Every structure is written in C-alpha cells, then in structure tokens.
Structure 1
Amino acid sequence: MKYNNNKIELEENGYSVVGELYSKNEIRQIIKCLENVEHNKNGFLKTKDLFAIRQLINNVPELSPLLFNANFLELLSDISDSQYFLTKAIYFDKPSESNWFVPYHQDLSISVDKKIDLENYNYWTFKKGQYGVQPPIKILEDTITIRIHLDDTDKNNGALKIIPKSHLNGITRADSKNWNLENEIICDVKRGGAMLMKPLTLHASNRTTNGKQRRVIHLELNKHKLDEPLKWLEHFNIQA
C-alpha cells in the first residue's frame, strides 16, 4: 500500500501530509475550472479576507473527474475501506492580503438535508441555506478530511497548525486548559499535495503575512448512514 504510512500517521497523530497527489498540469486544470465558475450561485461567499464555495461538487460538477484522479482513488483505498463516500466539499481562497485567522477548534458539524429532532444530534445551525448539526461522536471519529492544496502553503500564508494526538481525547471544550500547545505542529503543504486530518484534531490557522495566496479544497468523507430520516446533504459516491 503506497499510502500505508499516511494511514498510520492519520490514525495515531490525527493528521498526515501527502505530497504530489496532483501534477502541475492537473492543478492548473482545477484552478481554471474554479476561475470559470459563475459567482452568483447559492453557496458562494466573498469577503475581503475569504472567498469560499460551499457544496463544491454540486456547484462545480466538472471538478469531479479532476479531483478524483488515480492518485486520489489509491489514497482513499489505502487509508479507508470501500464504503467511504464524500459528505462535504468546500473551496477556500485566502487572498494574499487576507487578515483572516481561525483559532484552535475541532470540526464538529456535518451538513444534512433537513432539521429533525433526533437523539444524539445536537447544536443545530442554519447558514447559507443549509442545516448543520453535531452528530454522534462515532460519526466524527470515523470522518476523514482531505485538504487539497492549490498553492504552496506554510506558516506565512495560513498553513494549518495542529496539536498531534488531540483527536484521541474526544470532544474538547473551547475553554480547555489541556491543549498542550507546546506540541503544536505547522503543516507545510506543497502545491499539488494534500493534508489528511481527523476532524477532532485541534487545528487553527494564522493570518497571511507573506503576501501569498492560499487556495484549498476541503473534502470530508465518511462511511456511516445517518439515523433515518436524516441524510447527508452532499452524499457523493467516489468509488464504484
């Protein structure tokens, strides 16, 4: 298994960095596809500090064959089982002049098709026309995040900072004093590479200080059906 070490790192440390998942030409095609999208669709967000496209595959379906190339399929096969499917896809563009930063947090919300009263589904939100909810912890524990980098990213343009092994502690209160910040790692990722992460891994990002852009495609994958009648909002089968 080509990516077996990445699987081990992801499970043990809560993150892993993969290099050269996409060629230079594939990255150019992905960027061109994103640049040609009309920006008047639902799910688009634009401020001076951030441009984002939610429900990315729904809004830009032509990205699918570009993102899910042979390397991606091999990676997914090596780090997960065949039942995994896409549950969320977002494009982030942190412009070169961005002053936007994100403090340490866990990704605790999933996107679903409706709001309904179900046991162990809590903290409902409704943003930009879609419902979010914190699901049972097993769903979060089995989620795999893959962040595809369209630019070289380091500490100077918002590379993620993470606390290794923090995903092993379950859900962590925002005011917790046990974050072990002295163990902080900055995850540099080269253009065409990807960062793998567990959503319960504590992570943050700084402001841009070097005038360089940071564009990332954020994918979340899972293998669980939600409790009926709730469904994943963006369920998309990647593998046959």
Structure 2
Amino acid sequence: MIINLYHHKNSIKENGFTVINNIFSEEEIKKIGEVIQNIDTSGETFRKLEDLFAIRQFLKEIPEVNDLIFNENIKTIIKEIFGEQYFVVKSIYFDKPEKSNWYVAYHQDLTISVDKKFEIENFGPWTTKQNQFAVQPPLDILENIFTIRIHLDDTDEHNGALKVVPKSHSNGIYRPETIDWSVETEAICSVEKGGVMIMKPLLLHGSNRTTNGKKRRVIHIEFSDKGLPEELNWSEKLN
C-alpha cells in the first residue's frame, strides 16, 4: 500500500507533478494489457498511425477495464490527494510503438471534453475531433483538474517519458514560446511499469521521440470536482 501521500500532494501543489511507483502489480498490468489487446479498434474514437495508437473516451469504450484500473491504490490517491468529491472527466489510452518518431512539443492541456457545443461566456475556443467537443473553460476549472498517467511500460527519456517545466502550472495560461530557459528548468519524469505520474494540466509538458526501441503505453485520466454551466455536461463523467 502507498505510504506518505502527503509528500506527493505537496509536490503536485508546488511543482505541478509527482511520480509514485508500485501502484499496480505485474499481474494487474498484464490483465489491463490483455483487455486492451482484445478490443475492436474500428470505431471513430480510435486513432491509428504508424507512430501512435490512441483510444479516446477510453473508460467509456472499454468499461471492462474500469475495475482493473481503479484498484485500492488509485482510489486512495484520488481520495487523499485530490479529494472525496473528484470524478473522472476524460480518459485516453496512448500507445507509442517501439520505432515511434512521435514528438510532442511543450504545451499545456487547455481543453475539457463536453457533450455538445453551446456558446457560453468565458468558454472558448471550441474544437471538434471525431464527433467529440472540446472547449477551453475558465481558468478556475482548469486549475482544479488533476491528471493521472498510468504507465504500462518502463518509461524514461529514451522512450517518450514526459519532460516538464516544474512550477509552470502556477503561471496561468503560459505560451510555450515565451519560456525563458535562463530562468526555467526541465525535468524528465521517468516512471516504472506499474507506476503513475500525477500532474496538473497547466504544467508545461512535452515528450521526445523514442530512441531505444522500447514502446510506451500510458492511460491518461483526468479528474475534476467542478460542475459545468447547466447547458453543458462533461462528456465522460464517471464517479
């Protein structure tokens, strides 16, 4: 069981991220991998490229994986670090293959997934991908979100571990092109297989191409405790 979550809670508050290893056993990771391998990937929420395979609305598309993901350790993290009232609002599965040249430049996660497009003050700009609506909400909603990234493989700087700018989550909307590297530093978030990285979406983050011939599979889940204006609903709300 996890010990000393207080330290991790402080790290997220101060630096915008933390890494906790040994959250899933070898057996649990194997079972999750098997469920993913056996799915029908023809639907429009599946994105297949040579460099990347992604499943949007992952927990909705593959409900049989939910019990495996929400083990006692994850439930404890949600309760102790996020709070009792937090629920899932977005989930994506990423598979970066062994020879992936997929490179992600520094960015913040600035949108939320909602059920429809509805013009509301302070919500925008809007985007639509594969019949899914995403919108940039007011800052207080973004600041309240936590993201858990579950690693199904050992991940370091050679196979696409996230690189982040510590503390950048507390600067509001921060354009990557304005990063002053004489002031800022970069950290690489290496995570062991079965470990998690927890981050705030406003943390500047990116990832490099894979250079060591090892794949990187990650389940990305976002949590919030905020309601939306009554005209909108979170598209993936799960308690």
TM-score range, shorter chain: over 0.9
> What do you get for the CA RMSD once the two structures are aligned?
1.1
1:219 aligns with 2:221: yes
Kindly indicate whether the alpha-carbon contact (under 8 Å) linking 1:125 and 1:133 is maintained by their aligned counterparts in 2. Answer: yes
For 2:35, which of 25, 33, 36 is the aligned residue? Answer: 33
The offset of 1:181, in angstroms, is 7.2
Corresponding residue of 2:169: 167
Structure 2, gaps ≥5 residues long: none
2:124 paired with 1:143: no
Q: Shift of the alpha carbon at 1:179?
A: 5.6
Find 2:94's aligned residue among 92, 95, 108.
92
Correspondence 1:174-213 to 2 at 5 A: 174-178=176-180, 182-213=184-215
1:1-43 C-alpha deviation (Å, 9 max, x unpaired): 7411111100110000011010000000000010011111230
Alignment partner of 1:59 out of 61, 65, 71 = 61
Q: Which residue of 1 aligns with 2:76?
A: 74
CA contact (8 A) 1:163 1:179 kept: no
Distance, in Å, in 1 between the alignment partners of 2:176 and 2:125 is 15
Q: Structure 2: which amino acid aligns with 1:68?
A: F
Instruction: Determine helix, strand or coil for the equivalent of 1:175.
Output: helix
Give, in whole Å, the separation in 1 of the partners of 2:226 and 2:88. Answer: 11
The percent identity for this pair of structures is 51
Contact 1:147 1:219 in 2 (8 A): yes
TM-score by length of 1: 0.96
- CA distance in 1 between counterparts of 2:232 and 2:133 reads 11
**Unaligned regions of 5+ residues in structure 1, if any?**
none
2:169–2:201 CA contact under 8 A, matched in 1: yes
From 41, 44, 64, the counterpart of 1:42: 44
Q: How far, CA to CA, are the matches of 1:173 and 1:97 in structure 2?
A: 30
Instruction: Count the aligned residue pairs.
Output: 237
